[in-house]
Structure 1
Amino acid sequence: MSQILETIAGALADGAVDNVKNGVRKAIDDGVSAKDILSKGLISGMDKVGLLFKDGEMFVPEVLVAAKAMQAGLEIIKPLLLSDGVQSVGKILMVTVEGDLHDIGVKLVGMMLEGAGFEVINLGVDIPAAKIIEKVKELRPDILGLSAMLTTTMASMKNVMDALKEEGLLDNIKVMVGGAPLSPMYAEKIGAHYSADSNEAVFLAKSLIKKT
């Protein structure tokens, strides 16, 4: 059993979509549980990708390819996970704030978080605070992830934080922020948690979930 899971993890790290699909299907045929395929195959592979990315041995385009391979495998086992009652690590609502149209970074972070076992919902780009608050109330995520790639749209993050505070929602949700112009100091100033890249975002999200 461990051999096929190692094969899946290795294929994922190589970004070999077809090999991941074939490996997942073979594991299912061999009687491997969907939970083990997820944790010991797909997530294990993404963990490897995360470490390579952190060490500078893998770059964003390669990470995106690996993440697509992970999603291809995940699509196959999703029905099995649901029928087995496997719970996600946590629910994360991702969004690029109002005035900002950049989405590559937030998509990459979302893929990495999915690879770590989170349920990720991406609201899209240029989303006003009122819409974000509406979705937070509707979906009740554990974590809200805000992205901004422009200095001029950083203020939109503060608007969201202020709105969350006014609505009394900050007691029930953790907020992660990221993007090129941001800093840990700015995140702390507005009451959010900062991550510098997608790999760091995964570790941050896991630590925030443990605190809830």
Structure 2
Amino acid sequence: MNNTIMQLSEAIIDGNIMEAKILTQKALDMGATAKQILDEGLMNGMNEVGELFRDGELFVPEVLVASKAMDTGMEIIKPFLKEGDVEKKGKCVFATVKGDLHDIGKKLVAMMMEGAGYEIVDLGVDVSPEQLVDAVKEHEPELLGMSAMLTTTMAYMNDTVKALEENGLLDKVGVMIGGAPVSPKYASEINAKYSADASSAVELANSLISL
């Protein structure tokens, strides 16, 4: 069984969608729990993909295919996750900020957080501070995740935090930010928390939820 889960990780890294589907089902049939398949197979593979992408060994198209392979596995285990011991930890609203159309990093983070037990509300790309404030009012999430890939759009993260503060919402939601131009220093300056990649975003979310 452990060998099958290890092969599943490799299938995710290779972006082999059909293989990921077959191995996920096989692991379930062999008696692996959905949580085990998620943590040791799907997440493990996707974390490796994130590291390879960061190191320049994988590129955007390969990351997209890998995330599709993970999605295929997730579809199979999702019903079992809901029945099993992975309870919803909280709700998170995600968006790529105004003026920015990049969403691969955001999608990966959202996918991993969903797998880790979070309810995800993804607003998509090019989302204004006003729309984010409205979404926080409507969905009442514990967390808000913002992504930016352009230095020119980063300022909207600050605008959003200020708008949350003006609306009395900042103390009700943990703000997580990430993306290529974003740094821990910038996050600290605008009263947000920084996440370098998808796997550390899950750890950050867990730490913010437990506060």
SS of aligned partner of 2:176: strand
Q: Which residue of 1 aligns with 2:74?
A: 74
Q: In the aligned structure 2, how far is the partner of 1:181 from the partner of 1:45?
A: 25
Is this contact kept in 2: 1:103–1:124, CA < 8 A? Answer: yes
* Deviation readout 1:112-148 (Å, 9 max, x if unpaired): 5445554433101222223212222332333211123
Q: In the aligned structure 2, how far is the partner of 1:83 from the partner of 1:200?
A: 26
**What residue identity is the alignment partner of 1:110?**
A
**What residue identity is the alignment partner of 1:47?**
N
SS of aligned partner of 1:141: coil
SS of aligned partner of 1:144: strand
Q: Which residue of 2 aligns with 1:174?
A: 174
Q: Which residue of 2 aligns with 1:155?
A: 155
Change (3 A) 1:89 1:9: farther
Is this contact kept in 2: 1:70–1:115, CA < 8 A? Answer: no
Q: Which residue of 2 aligns with 1:58?
A: 58
Change (3 A) 1:117 1:57: farther
Stretches of structure 1 that go unaligned for 5 or more consecutive residues are: none
Q: In the aligned structure 1, how far is the partner of 2:153 from the partner of 2:77?
A: 38
Q: Which residue of 2 aligns with 1:191?
A: 191
**What residue identity is the alignment partner of 2:122?**
N
Total equivalences in the alignment:
211
Q: Which residue of 1 aligns with 2:135?
A: 135
Q: Which residue of 2 aligns with 1:43?
A: 43
Q: Which residue of 1 aligns with 2:18?
A: 18
Q: Which residue of 2 aligns with 1:144?
A: 144
Q: Which residue of 2 aligns with 1:165?
A: 165
Is this contact kept in 2: 1:67–1:115, CA < 8 A? Answer: no
Identity %: 54
Q: Which residue of 2 aligns with 1:8?
A: 8
Is this contact kept in 2: 1:100–1:153, CA < 8 A? Answer: yes
TM-score, normalisation: structure 1: 0.82
Change (3 A) 1:141 1:28: same
Q: Which residue of 2 aligns with 1:120?
A: 120
Change (3 A) 1:7 1:149: closer
RMSD: 2.6
Q: In the aligned structure 1, how far is the partner of 2:4 from the partner of 2:90?
A: 27
Q: Which residue of 2 aligns with 1:100?
A: 100
Is this contact kept in 2: 1:47–1:116, CA < 8 A? Answer: no
TM-score, normalisation: structure 2: 0.83
The alpha-carbon deviation at position 202 of structure 1 amounts to 4.5
